[in-house]
Amino acid sequence: MMTLLRMNRVVLALLMLLGLASLPAVSTAQSQQQNPPRQPADDSAGPQTDQGPIVIKKKKEEEAPPPPAPVAPPEPKVKNPNNETYSIRVDVPIVNLDVNVILDKTHQFVPGLKAGNFLVLEDGVPQTITNLHMAQAPITAVMLLEFAANSYYFIRDMQNASFSFFNTLRTDDYVAVVTYDLRTHILTDFTNNKQIVGNALSSLIIPGFSDTNVFDALYETLDRVSRIDGRKYIILIGTGRDTFSKITLDKILAKVKATPNVTIFTIGTGALIRELADARGGMGSITRMDYLQAENQMKTFAQMTGGLSFNPMFQGALPDVFSQINDSIRNQYVLTYRPTNNKNDGSYRRIQVKLVDNEGKPLQMQDEKHKPLKYSVIARDGYRAKNEVE
């Protein structure tokens, strides 16, 4: 019994020894559980406290740096002026020339000619034709009529001639009617209404003044038609006598030369009465010379512009006269060439047009019976070149 009691005491002592030996470890474990080991500091979490880590907000993202101050662009480099490339515009003159070829006997238009049949001389120098075509188009014309209280016969001839031309008009022709005595009077502006033109001609009954200032009237008419594009025609019907115009003959001739794209046709009036008066000896030498000079002036106006001049003595000749005018106006050759003298100096260039054969000799025409036919080449006698400032 005693022995058993001792054994129990020994066991109890061993147990106590074992408990004391394990006590620090347990305490240490419990301490570790109650106070876990500190983790290494996290830079982003901040310092630790008893209530937990102090939360420190992250810094905002750094704002973008301000843009650099603008830097002035480098100065442009100046090129050597000697190496610059310039654009040069050169105006090359072109001449369009209206040419009519009419038989002298029948006054018929001659068709079928080629570019090689035309020889164009400008100031005596041959020109190269670059284009040739036939033209037949509506006309734009001014009927410039002498209507003065000088002679009933002159007025009647003017009326007959103007109505004859009126009867040849087509629906697409534009015509203006202008009369002159001491002053110029526009009866109707350009119109394609034949009734308006006919009414204007019918109103020519009682004239006003007896003066006939044809130079002033022609100058004003040329000035008006120069503002219209395209080819224009002036049908001048009158005696051609000038009383006391402000414009002199030299000035009107210069105006005719300087006005492009205008062709003048003249029809003289009073041919029969002048012939009868001259046969009776009733027309003095001074008066005769006056009318001869007037007739020559009318021819000059026509020739300078490539037109035709007529002095019909009888009314029955008027249909043939205006038939020739219509053939000349509506059927013509248009030649185009670049002048060898391309200077824009404002000079007047004289033109001469001839017909030649394949060998360059004068062209010979024959009828069906192989008889030679005489013909006339009608073209304006020159043009004025442009000035540099135009």
DSSP string, 113-154: --GGGEEEEETTEEE-EEEEEEE----EEEEEEE--TT-HHH
- The token pair at 10 is 């020994």
H or E stretch covering 220: helix 214-225
Query: Which amino acid would we find at residue 269?
Result: T
Task: State the Cα–Cα distance between residues 190 and 232, nearest whole angstrom.
Answer: 11
Number of Cβ within 10 Å of residue 185's Cβ equals 14
Determine the pLDDT at residue 344.
86
For the chain, the domains span: 90-136+335-390, 137-330
Name the architecture of domain 137-330: 3-Layer(aba) Sandwich (3.40)
User: How, if at all, do strands 232-238 and 262-268 pair?
Assistant: parallel
Pull the structure tokens for residue 89: 């515009």
pLDDT in tens, 342-376: 888 889 999 999 999 999 999 999 988 889 999 98
CA-CA distance, 330 to 205, in Å (whole number)?
31
- The amino acid that residue 346 corresponds to is G
How far, in Å, CA of 68 to CA of 291, rounded?
96
pLDDT at site 33:
47
Q: What is the 3-state secondary structure (H, E, C) of 270-333?
A: CHHHHHHHHHCCCCCHHHHHHHHHHHHHHHHHHHHHCCCEECCCCHHHHHHHHHHHHHHHHCEE
What residue type is 227 in one-letter code? R
What pLDDT is recorded for position 208? 81
In the block, residue with structure tokens 């110029």: 184
φ, ψ for residue 141 (rounded to 5)? -135, 155
Rounded Cα–Cα distance for residues 306 and 100 (Å):
8
At 214, list the tokens. 């044809």
Q: What is the pLDDT of residue 17?
A: 59
Task: Report the C-alpha dihedral over residues 41, 44, 46, 48, rounded to 10 degrees.
Answer: -50
- Give the whole-angstrom CA distance, residue 261 versus residue 229: 8
Q: Work out the end-to-end distance of the chain between its first and last CA atoms, rounded to an integer number of angstroms.
A: 157
Q: Is-contact 309 303, C-beta < 8 A?
A: yes
Beta strands (DSSP E) in the chain are 48-49, 52-53, 95-103, 118-122, 125-127, 129-135, 140-146, 174-180, 184-191, 232-238, 262-268, 309-310, 332-337, 348-355, 365-366, 372-373, 375-378, 382-384
| The one-letter amino acid at 337 | Y
CA dihedral over 98, 102, 107, 108, signed as positive or negative: negative
Cα–Cα dist 374/367, whole Å: 10
In which residue ranges of the chain is pLDDT below 50?
20, 23-35, 40-47, 49-50, 59, 78, 80-84, 86-88
Position 373 scores a pLDDT of 92
pLDDT of residue 163: 94
Give me Rg for the CA atoms of the chain.
55
Q: Are strands 174-180 and 125-127 parallel, antiparallel or unpaired?
A: unpaired
Query: CA 260 → CA 80, 124, 195, 197, 334, distances in Å?
Result: 46, 21, 30, 26, 14
Q: Give the three-state DSSP class for 355.
A: strand
